[in-house]
């Protein structure tokens, strides 16, 4: 007994000593806004902690204060490539031993990723709280022990190239890149975070090692832990793993170059294939820690806000732009504040630029009204509250504050914004929005493709994993695949359900203060549009926020701004869907407005014309989007006309857009809108009686609506067919496989098939990504999923992107993985690991109010009871490898899969639905916008197609800003031979990528073209 007592005394003493040691090793700097700042005494690592004991998850983020700003010509892109290499392992944790960072994070269901931006690189994981020490250990290990091997770089380089090419597919991303390059002549903000192509191609392990050894040290990093975690274990892990790392043996280099004063306006023009033009103007603004930034942020809201912003009113509402935007990144050094617009088909660049300039001049000359200022502050005030909805949201904002040079701005900036006056805003506008410090960019569509929406991420940080698929807010096809153990997840005990005013009302109370998110729907989706009017449901939904019988569109938007609330509408295949968020005290006002919008839309004919114009621009942008074209074509091959999953041809949608009248919209609303099939789900800081009363008051007396149709057209059969769609001027090709499984989400066989498909392509460490990206380095992204299964049987799909030169190799690798998976099935170990991963990822995914509301609504739409949100992990646990392998064989046959390929295909083959001619394209960077390139002749020899192009310069003087120019030619023959390009007239000695051969005259060919067939002449 005495020995036991001595042992316990020894154990307690040891624990106390270790705790004291942890506290001693960390120096407390300050506590502000609930965030504790510490510093490791031995090496200078800064630590930020913000606990929320009510959360079952936490975010662990490491921010390195190094970004593309720290690169020089010859090493641009190094920060981003090193970000990729950070996932290649260390001697302790590596793929060979199956314990590398990605494998361990996926195994526990964490959502992890990394991003590179101008001033920083960050690595993060949102994960179950018990794994916080593991994430800290893994991050500390790769801070100084990273493998940077030739074999790893070789495989990752193709991935980075594919990511670069995907970005180049977007004219807007390219234009912003060129805008920054033109605006900054000395400072390193002139080059993009992904780097210039030549530098990317010429990187080496030695360059990356030097970069790593220069910047990846404790005193150049900040570790942030937000959410639910064990404080003692977290501090111990920080001291144990980071405390063992020595400080840098040298000072961390600082960027000393300052941008010289700009003494005149600059311009850049990009001319290439496309449908819709873009205009943007950027102005030099100070570093983000400058006292004028609170006013600039308010200008960002007042000018750029959707529906209430000045650009929206001046351009979108007048039918001159399909979308307007402001882009004002808060950077460490002086940067750019950009105003921009996507043109509608009838608008010209000149008039849109003039309107943009007029609005800026009005801001300088007339300032802003007190009402505008008050509403802008209300929006930002609400965003601050919403920004605490989930640990990642907080960590992400702190990350950007660290990058700009002062993490406490996350806490202090809201107070600074509240203090800004209208007079100060006008003074700031006068100070910075000067003509002489402006840089204007145009994207001019020069080559029309033969037929997407604009990219959701036109510009921003470069991610290791595609953020739309693997990001913290990813709403991918696997969103519901997984949930935590019943002992951890319990939403049902805080759930209420009742029928109110004929509406199915469900609420979930969560440990979040002040925030409520909602999702709702009823049967008024595209499947109910008549065959001759496929756009009708979508156009009706698009008019709901454009005015009601009692408020015009601006009054609605201004009310939402004042309340700090959001409401959005969309028409999907089956439903009109609506979602939003509000602050708890405003439930009554928000729901009253929601009811007013769906019950009494104004359907103003003049406003409808502007909506029609913007919709036309969206559809024309889709013509140039390989992902949209491939997906749309696949839907027509798998589903018959009239099926909810069938997408009509773009040409038919454009025709219907012109033919649909305002009376058609009124009739559709009268027939299908009502509470018959309506449900509303709320999650957050819930007062059930308040929500119930608000719904009852808002929707009292409303009737009508329809139930969801019980029968739909049957799916098509499965036949091995391949379609190719040629789209000019694209550097990345989209590949899409499809197969009709006949599975609906409510069927018991769905989960085993889903699990097998998850092992194939549902995650970053799934077989497809592991082999095609990580092992062979052929793509940035490849995945498989199941879709279209909400209320009808759906289809399996596999999507990937490849460089045109690697298309055949990429598809061969994809087929190998797919065939092996199908033939051999999956193992018990894979099934167990997938269940564990999906369980953790489901818990992590339900860390915000919006995700909980959306997930619960999704389950309800698929025919489940509300309690299924807690039951789901139990269903996963029951699945056996035998069930999975049986489902794979029963519901999929890869040999009968349909394949669609879209992009600038090297063989120029096209879809049978499109033109049979083939296109040859040329694009080259020139010293200024005064140059043009034109394809003059195309010859066919026995071995090649020889394309001869001529460069010419206009007599008019153009600004010396690098400009991309392009041309294409249609030839009435299949392109089966390799293409060789020769260009006449080049007068500069840079920009040689090896893709083109530059010649002085046709004499350079000698007799090489003797006997060649001339198949094209200008």
Task: Tell me the average pLDDT across 181-208.
Answer: 89
168 & 277 share domain: no
**Last residue in a domain, options 410, 445, 480:** 445
Q: What is the pLDDT of residue 763?
A: 86
pLDDT on residue 474: 43
Position 975 scores a pLDDT of 62
On whether both 323 and 399 belong to a single domain, the answer is yes
* Range with the poorest average pLDDT among 243-257, 348-362, 477-491, 932-946: 477-491
512 & 657 share domain = yes
Residues 185 and 138 occupy one common structural domain: yes
Residue 903, pLDDT above cutoff 60: yes
Looking at the chain, the whole-number percentage of residues with pLDDT higher than 90 is 60
Asked if residue 360 and residue 231 are part of one domain, the reply reads no
The pLDDT score that the predictor gives to residue 338 is 96
Distance of CA 22 to CAs 14, 41, 537, Å?
Answer: 12, 11, 61
Look at residue 73 and tell me if it is in a domain.
yes
Band (pLDDT 50/70/90 cuts) for residue 1008 is: confident
Q: What is the DSSP letter of 88?
A: S
Report the alpha-carbon angle 906-910-916, nearest 5: 120
> Which structural domain, as residue segments, surrounds residue 168?
24-243
- When pLDDT is cut at 50, 70 and 90, the band that residue 461 belongs to is low
For residue 913, pLDDT over 70 is answered with: no
110 pLDDT higher than 50: yes
Mean pLDDT computed over 858-881? 91
29 and 159 share one domain: yes
Q: How many CB atoms lie within 10 A of CB 944?
A: 13
Residues 70 and 121 sit within 8 Å (Cβ to Cβ)? no
Which of 29-33, 401-405, 428-432, 478-482 has the lowest average pLDDT? 478-482
Q: Which helix (H) or strand (E) holds 129?
A: none
For 833-845, the pLDDT digits (tens) are 999 888 888 888 8
DSSP state for residue 313 in the 8-state scheme? I
Q: Which pLDDT band holds residue 477 (cuts at 50, 70, 90)?
A: very low
Chain-centre distance for alpha carbon 36:
31
b (16+ CB within 10 A) / e for 662-695: bebbeebbeebbbbbbbbbbbbbbbebeebbebb
Query: Residue 146 pLDDT > 90, yes or no?
Result: yes
What CA–CA distance (Å, rounded) separates 416 from 382?
15
496 and 581 in a single domain? The answer is: yes
Q: How big is the chain, counted in residues?
A: 1018
Percent of the chain with pLDDT over 70: 89
761 within domain boundaries:
yes
Q: What is the pLDDT at residue 214? A: 95
With CA atoms as reference, report the closest residue to 543 among 647, 656, 664, 462: 664
In-domain check, residue 1000: yes
Last residue of a domain, one of 414, 445, 476: 445
Q: How far is CA 155 from CA 103, 162, 227, in A?
A: 18, 12, 36
* Closest C-alpha among 765, 892, 893, 885 to residue 825: 885
More confident site: 72 or 892: 892
pLDDT digits (tens, 9 = 90+) for 6-23: 434 443 444 344 445 677
Last residue of a domain, one of 876, 903, 930: 903
Q: 438 or 511: which carries more pLDDT confidence?
A: 438
Structure tokens given for 161:
């190239």
Query: Which helix H or strand E contains 285, and what residues bound it?
Result: strand 278-285
Q: How confident is the model at residue 620 (pLDDT cuts 50, 70, 90)?
A: confident
pLDDT above 60 for 297: yes
pLDDT at residue number 92 = 96
What's the CATH code of the domain at 826?
3.30.830.10
Decide if pLDDT at 680 tops 70. Answer: yes
Structural tokens at position 70:
């720290």
* Residue with token string 């739909």: 712
Based on the fold, state whether residues 189 and 286 are members of the same structural domain: no
- State the pLDDT at residue 1010: 83
- What is the distance between the alpha carbons of residues 837 and 766, in angstroms, rounded to a whole number? 11
Of residues 985, 839, 843, the one with CA closest to residue 924:
985
DSSP string for 851-871? HHHHHHHHHHHTT--TTHHHH
Report how many domains make up the chain. Answer: 5
Rounded Cα gap, residues 53 and 511, in angstroms: 10
pLDDT tens-digit readout, 643-670? 999 999 988 999 999 999 999 999 999 9
pLDDT, position 21:
66
Of 138, 72, 136, which is closest to residue 102 (Cα–Cα)?
138
> Residue 457: how many CB atoms within 10 A of its CB?
15
| 110-133 mean pLDDT | 93
- Give the pLDDT score at 906: 60
Helix (H) or strand (E) holding 368: none
- pLDDT confidence of residue 990: 62
- The reported pLDDT for the residue numbered 929 is 64
582, two tokens: 């509000």
Residues 215 and 309 in one domain: no
Q: What is the pLDDT of residue 221?
A: 97
pLDDT tens string 298-326: 999 999 998 899 999 999 989 899 889 99
- Residue 889 has φ and ψ, to the nearest 5°, of -70, -30
- pLDDT, tens digit, for every residue of 397-455? 999 999 999 999 999 999 999 999 999 999 999 999 999 999 999 998 875 544 433 33
Q: Which of 512-516, 691-695, 726-730 has the highest mean pLDDT?
A: 691-695
- Under DSSP, the state recorded for 95 is G
572: DSSP letter: -
Query: 900 falls in which pLDDT band (50, 70, 90)?
Result: very high
Compute the CA torsion angle 7, 10, 13, 14 (nearest 10 deg). Answer: -110
Do residues 693 and 786 both lie within one domain? no
**Does 945 lie in the same domain as 886?**
no
pTM over 0.75: no
* pLDDT per position as a tens digit, 62-74: 999 999 999 988 8
User: Is residue 466's pLDDT more than 70?
Assistant: no
The span from the first CA to the last CA of the chain, in angstroms, equals 101
Is 874 domain-assigned? yes
- Range from 547-551, 651-655, 751-755, 988-992 carrying the lowest mean pLDDT: 988-992
- Domain membership of residue 8 (yes or no) is no
Within-domain flag for 31: yes
pLDDT band for 971, please (50, 70, 90 cuts): confident
Per-residue pLDDT averaged across 371-390, rounded?
Answer: 90
> Cα–chain-centroid distance for residue 16?
47
Identify whether 686 is part of a domain.
yes
Please tell me the least confidently modeled range out of 36-45, 263-272, 945-954.
Answer: 945-954
Per the CB < 8 A criterion, the answer to whether 523 and 678 are in contact is no
Residues 307 and 279 in one domain: yes
Helices 587-599/688-699 angle, 10° precision? 30
Residue 546 falls inside a structural domain? yes
Please report the pLDDT score of residue 992 as a whole number: 61
More confident site: 109 or 487? 109
DSSP 702-744: -----PPPS--PPPP----EEEEEE-TT-SSEEEEEEEE----
User: What per-residue confidence (pLDDT) applies to 603?
Assistant: 97
Query: What pLDDT is stored for residue 448 in this prediction?
Result: 52
> What mean pLDDT is reported for the chain?
87
């Amino acid at each position: 007994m005495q020995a036991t007592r001595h042992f316990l005394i020894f154990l307690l003493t040891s624990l106390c000593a270790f705790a004291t040691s942890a506290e001693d090793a960390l120096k407390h700097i300050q506590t502000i806004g609930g965030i504790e700042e510490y510093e490791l005494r031995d090496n200078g690592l800064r630590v930020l902690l913000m606990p929320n004991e009510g959360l079952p998850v936490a975010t662990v983020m490491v921010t390195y204060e190094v970004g593309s700003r720290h690169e020089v010509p010859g090493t641009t892109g190094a920060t981003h490539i090193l970000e990729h290499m950070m996932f290649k392992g260390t001697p302790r944790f590596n793929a060979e031993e199956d314990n590398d960072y990605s494998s361990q994070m996926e195994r526990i269901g964490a959502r992890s990723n990394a991003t590179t931006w101008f001033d920083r690189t960050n690595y993060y994981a949102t994960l179950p709280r018990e794994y916080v020490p593991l994430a800290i250990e893994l991050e500390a290990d790769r801070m100084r022990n990273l493998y940077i091997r030739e074999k790893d770089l070789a495989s990752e380089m193709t991935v980075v190239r594919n990511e670069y090419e995907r970005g180049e597919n977007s004219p807007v991303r390219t234009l912003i890149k060129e805008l920054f390059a033109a605006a900054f002549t000395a400072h390193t903000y002139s080059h993009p975070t992904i780097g210039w192509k030549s530098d990317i191609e010429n990187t080496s392990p030695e360059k990356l090692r030097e970069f790593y050894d220069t910047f990846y040290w404790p005193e150049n990093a900040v570790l942030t832990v937000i959410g639910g975690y064990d404080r003692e274990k977290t501090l111990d892990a920080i001291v144990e793993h980071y405390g063992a790392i020595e400080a840098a043996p040298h000072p961390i280099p600082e960027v000393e170059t300052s941008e010289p004063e700009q003494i005149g306006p600059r311009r850049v023009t990009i001319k290439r294939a496309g449908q819709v033009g873009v205009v943007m103007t950027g102005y030099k603004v100070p570093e983000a820690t400058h006292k004028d930034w609170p006013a600039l942020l308010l200008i960002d809201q007042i000018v750029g806000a959707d529906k209430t912003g000045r650009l929206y009113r001046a351009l979108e509402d007048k039918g001159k732009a399909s979308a307007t935007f402001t882009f004002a990144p808060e950077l460490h050094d002086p940067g750019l504040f950009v105003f921009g617009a996507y043109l509608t088909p009838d608008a010209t660049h000149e008039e849109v630029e003039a309107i943009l300039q007029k609005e800026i001049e009005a801001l300088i000359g007339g300032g802003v009204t007190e009402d505008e200022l008050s509403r802008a502050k209300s929006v930002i005030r609400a965003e601050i509250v919403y920004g605490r909805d989930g640990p990642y949201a907080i960590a992400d904002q702190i990350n950007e504050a660290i990058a700009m040079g002062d993490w406490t701005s996350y806490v202090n900036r809201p107070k600074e914004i509240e203090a800004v006056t209208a007079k100060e805003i006008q003074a700031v506008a006068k100070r910075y929005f000067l003509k002489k410090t402006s840089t204007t960019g145009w994207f001019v569509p020069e080559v029309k493709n033969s037929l997407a929406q604009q990219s959701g991420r036109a510009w921003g940080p470069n991610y290791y994993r595609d953020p739309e698929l693997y990001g913290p807010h990813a709403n991918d096809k696997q969103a519901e695949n997984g949930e935590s153990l019943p002992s951890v997840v319990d939403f049902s005990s805080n759930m209420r359900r009742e029928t109110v005013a004929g509406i199915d009302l469900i609420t979930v109370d969560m440990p979040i203060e002040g925030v409520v998110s909602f999702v709702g729907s009823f049967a008024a989706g595209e499947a109910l549009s008549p065959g001759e009017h496929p756009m009708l449901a979508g156009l009706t939904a698009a008019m709901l926020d454009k005015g009601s019988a009692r408020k015009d569109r601006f009054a609605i938007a201004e009310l939402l701004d004042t309340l700090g609330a959001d409401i959005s509408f969309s028409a999907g295949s089956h439903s009109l869907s609506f979602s939003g968020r509000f602050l708890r005290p405003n439930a009554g006002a928000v729901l009253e407005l929601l009811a007013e919008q769906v019950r009494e839309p104004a359907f103003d004919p003049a406003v409808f014309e502007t909506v029609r114009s913007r919709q036309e621009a969206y559809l024309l942008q889709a013509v140039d989007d390989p992902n949209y074209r491939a997906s749309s074509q696949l839907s027509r091959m798998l589903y018959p006309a009239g099926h909810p999953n069938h997408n009509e041809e773009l040409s038919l949608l454009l025709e219907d857009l012109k033919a649909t009248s305002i009376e058609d919209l009124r009739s559709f609303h009268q027939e299908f809108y009502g509470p018959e099939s309506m449900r509303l789900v709320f999650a957050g800081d819930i007062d059930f009686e308040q929500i119930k009363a608000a719904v009852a008051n808002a929707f009292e007396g409303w009737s009508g609506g329809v139930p969801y149709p019980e029968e739909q057209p049957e799916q098509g059969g499965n036949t091995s067919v391949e379609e190719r769609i040629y789209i000019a001027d694209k550097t990345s090709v989209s590949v899409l496989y499809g197969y009709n499984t006949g599975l609906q989400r409510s069927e018991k066989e769905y989960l085993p098939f889903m699990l097998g498909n998850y092992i194939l392509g549902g995650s970053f460490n799934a077989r497809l990504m592991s082999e095609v990206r990580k092992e062979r380095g052929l793509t940035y992204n490849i995945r498989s999923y199941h879709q279209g299964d909400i209320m009808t049987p759906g289809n399996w799909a596999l999507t990937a992107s490849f460089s045109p030169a690697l298309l055949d190799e990429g598809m061969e690798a994809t087929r190998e993985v797919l065939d092996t998976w199908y033939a051999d099935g999956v193992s018990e170990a894979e099934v167990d690991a997938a269940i564990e991963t999906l369980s953790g990822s489901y818990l992590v995914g339900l860390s915000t109010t919006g995700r909980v509301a959306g997930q619960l609504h999704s389950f309800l739409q698929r025919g489940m009871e509300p309690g299924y949100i807690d039951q789901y992990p139990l269903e996963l646990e029951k699945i056996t490898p035998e069930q999975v392998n049986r489902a794979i064989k029963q519901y999929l046959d890869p040999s009968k899969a349909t394949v669609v390929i879209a992009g600038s295909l090297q063989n120029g083959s096209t879809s049978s639905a499109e033109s049979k001619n083939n296109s040859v394209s040329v694009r080259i960077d020139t010293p200024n916008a005064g140059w043009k390139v034109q394809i003059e002749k195309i010859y066919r020899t026995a071995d090649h197609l020889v394309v001869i192009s001529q460069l010419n310069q206009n007599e008019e003087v153009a600004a010396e800003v690098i400009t991309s120019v392009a041309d294409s030619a249609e030839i009435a023959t299949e392109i089966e031979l390799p293409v060789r390009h020769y260009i006449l007239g080049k007068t500069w000695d840079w920009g040689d990528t090896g893709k083109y051969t530059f010649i002085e005259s046709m004499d350079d060919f000698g007799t090489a073209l003797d006997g060649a067939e001339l198949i094209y002449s200008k």
